[in-house]
A and B are shown apart, each in its own frame.
Chain A
């Protein structure tokens, strides 16, 4: 059986010039904005709440609830689009911006109407030169056509979108670090409370939403929350773009309803494992999922609750796939080095712990590990998780747990063998 995608957010991706406002307007673009601006803001927020939209940046927080925290009658308030995609294995936000930037801008203006923001920002990852260029051009097209700027659609609502490029720091995907960075500081997370909804950008009430989250908004407004809930599960409504990469025949972004089994994504949509090999492991949600899944977890349904029940996290939906001749220890060692490099240095357990874990995992992969290293790693990670200001510290424990628990036999083989038994 051949599985098909459910194209909502990616519906325009195949169209010629899908990034232009002409293509967007020709296929219903900005009609949801027109409708939203004729609807009371609180009713727009209510629609998003009823739809059950949850944040697609990794945490899954209910978007409508987030909007509802904002006191709309106390301007200025701000909307910030988190376009600082950097979770290893994830490439959905980049493609959403490259192929359909107007869908994002439309969602941003609708969200801003709901929370009373006259200005919003796209914080785009610095390395995404092409995506940022596409968004920049889309913003100027939107001003020319009057879908941004003064008195949009004669509603009296004014709105400006400002594109802001980052400068290379994974941590700026964390929403309070992002705000620090947008204010011209080192991207280090803030202490909460106060939460951004009370004191965010420039100490004003602020909503921060991920690109994919905001891209869902026009569809909810256009078609209604009940329509949105027809896709996915009770607790994970809607569709989700999964980024499938690694040892598969057709790596790429695939949009399917939440709850689609991992097997369908890996074996059918992505064409299965390359070279007739077998699957050894996959990450359900990027490097930050705890832990990676083995082949026995291929039938897990890809939604927030099922992945969590199976012992990991859905995260960003980045499925990095490893064939049976790939070394899981090597991959986890690389993730650990990533966390050690990207730890912002604010909290001692994360800054020092990731450094030492990276050293231990490097020697394990190099065949110089000792039997007691597995316990040592578990001890160090237990002193990072829950002891840092932000989630990076918690996520940094994932590679250790993967190696020391799920793939402990493979780790022991490295120690016994005094070397990595795998080619890749």
Chain B
């Protein structure tokens, strides 16, 4: 048990957000008639910088929006893409809904768990990959589907999935998905999710 008010062993302390992050947050707040609409985007920026929605980030965002920490935390804990534990460099999300399950999502899951040595909701010790189960990502025509930092890979065999995470882990080049772009690491995708400009929509696969 940690001392009251002290850092919890599972929630490491983080440095204050960079000034440029706070400036980006102010720009996002100005986008809306009510600055609170930028809250989720601001939490994505915290995640880009800290790897998760940290206590420190919640406190700073609350201060900027003139909300209580509890109000911000209530939002941070509601949405599945906002994480309270640090994410790996790549988040690998396996859909297990019926269309994917019928097409072999179960064996995909087992192959990935065996290769990575972690289960759903866990991160490899080297911090490279977080594995999770996801609800239908609406790529049922490409079942079984796996998302890597929200880029959808379709019709994956267990062998292809293992090959993909090996490359991601070793920092090697991965092929683009049929529809989408080569996944970018944690910080870049969360800046994009915050609404700070994406990478080239035509890069990688991106067929019409």
User: Is B48 interfacial (CB-CB < 8 Å)?
Assistant: no
User: Is A86 interfacial (CB-CB < 8 Å)?
Assistant: yes
Query: Within the complex, which residue of A16, A129, A167, A338 is in contact with B79, where a contact is CB–CB below 8 Å?
Result: A167
With both beta carbons as reference points, the residue of chain B lying nearest to A251 in the complex is identified as: B141
Chain A interface residue bracket vs B: 35 or more
9-residue interface stretch from B5-13, B117-125, B165-173, B188-196: B188-196
Query: Within the complex, which residue of B34, B141, B208 is in contact with A91, where a contact is CB–CB below 8 Å?
Result: B141
- Alpha-carbon distance between A424 and B18 when the two chains are bound, in angstroms: 50
9-residue interface stretch from A158-166, A192-200, A364-372, A384-392: A158-166
With both beta carbons as reference points, the residue of chain B lying nearest to A204 in the complex is identified as: B33
Q: Which residues of A contact B31 (CB under 8 A)?
A: 162
A5 CB to closest chain B CB, in angstroms?
15
- Alpha-carbon distance between A275 and B98 when the two chains are bound, in angstroms: 18
User: Is A243 interfacial (CB-CB < 8 Å)?
Assistant: yes
A416 CB to closest chain B CB, in angstroms?
24
Given contacts A89-B136, A164-B37, A251-B99, are A137 and B201 in contact (CB under 8 A)?
yes
- Alpha-carbon distance between A243 and B143 when the two chains are bound, in angstroms: 13
Query: Within the complex, which residue of A90, A127, A163 is in contact with B134, where a contact is CB–CB below 8 Å?
Result: A127
Q: Which residues of A contact B39 (CB under 8 A)?
A: 184-185
Q: Which residues of B contact A320 (CB under 8 A)?
A: 98-99, 140
User: Is A168 interfacial (CB-CB < 8 Å)?
Assistant: yes
Q: Which residues of B contact A132 (CB under 8 A)?
A: 198
Interface centre among B80, B140, B181 (most CB of A within 10 A): B140
User: Is A134 interfacial (CB-CB < 8 Å)?
Assistant: yes
- Alpha-carbon distance between A162 and B138 when the two chains are bound, in angstroms: 23
User: Is B36 interfacial (CB-CB < 8 Å)?
Assistant: yes
Whether B179 lies near A130 (C-beta < 8 A) is yes
Q: Which residues of A contact B140 (CB under 8 A)?
A: 88-91, 243, 245-246, 251, 318, 320
Q: 1/0 per residue A161-184: CB within 8 Å of B?
A: 011111111100000000001111
Given contacts A90-B138, A127-B134, are A169 and B80 in contact (CB under 8 A)?
yes
Whether A334 lies near B101 (C-beta < 8 A) is yes
**Residues from 17 to 36 in B contacting A, C-beta threshold 8 Å:** 31-34, 36
**Residues from 154 to 208 in B contacting A, C-beta threshold 8 Å:** 179-181, 189, 192-193, 195, 197-199, 201, 206, 208
Q: Which residues of A contact B197 (CB under 8 A)?
A: 136
Whether B152 lies near A168 (C-beta < 8 A) is no
Tally of B interface residues using CB under 8 Å:
54
Q: Which residues of B contact A341 (CB under 8 A)?
A: 135
- Alpha-carbon distance between A89 and B36 when the two chains are bound, in angstroms: 33
User: Is A202 interfacial (CB-CB < 8 Å)?
Assistant: yes
Q: 1/0 per residue B109-152: CB within 8 Å of A?
A: 00000000000000000000000001111111101000101111
User: Is A409 interfacial (CB-CB < 8 Å)?
Assistant: no
User: Is A331 interfacial (CB-CB < 8 Å)?
Assistant: yes
Whether A181 lies near B141 (C-beta < 8 A) is no
User: Is B40 interfacial (CB-CB < 8 Å)?
Assistant: yes
User: Is B92 interfacial (CB-CB < 8 Å)?
Assistant: no
**Residues from 64 to 83 in A contacting B, C-beta threshold 8 Å:** 76
Whether A246 lies near B99 (C-beta < 8 A) is yes
Q: Which residues of A contact B147 (CB under 8 A)?
A: 127
Q: Which residues of B contact A150 (CB under 8 A)?
A: none
- Alpha-carbon distance between A86 and B193 when the two chains are bound, in angstroms: 18
Q: Which residues of B contact A247 (CB under 8 A)?
A: 102
Whether A130 lies near B143 (C-beta < 8 A) is no
Extra A-B contacts (15), CB below 8 Å, given A18-B208, A86-B138, A119-B33: A89-B140, A125-B138, A126-B193, A129-B150, A129-B189, A129-B198, A162-B32, A164-B37, A165-B40, A168-B81, A181-B40, A187-B78, A243-B141, A247-B102, A341-B135
In the complex, the 3 A-B pairs of residues with the closest C-beta atoms, listed nearest first: A184-B39, A168-B80, A245-B140
Interface positions of B (Cβ within 8 A of A): 31-34, 36-41, 43-44, 65, 74-75, 78-82, 93, 96-99, 101-102, 134-141, 143, 147, 149-152, 179-181, 189, 192-193, 195, 197-199, 201, 206, 208
Q: What are 11 sample pairs from A and B whose C-beta atoms fall under 8 A apart?
A: A94-B139, A119-B33, A126-B150, A130-B151, A130-B179, A133-B192, A167-B79, A184-B37, A245-B143, A287-B97, A344-B78
Interface positions of A (Cβ within 8 A of B): 13-19, 23, 76, 85-91, 93-94, 98-99, 119, 125-130, 132-134, 136-137, 162-170, 181-187, 202, 243, 245-247, 251-253, 287, 318, 320, 322-323, 326, 330-331, 334-335, 338, 341-342, 344, 424
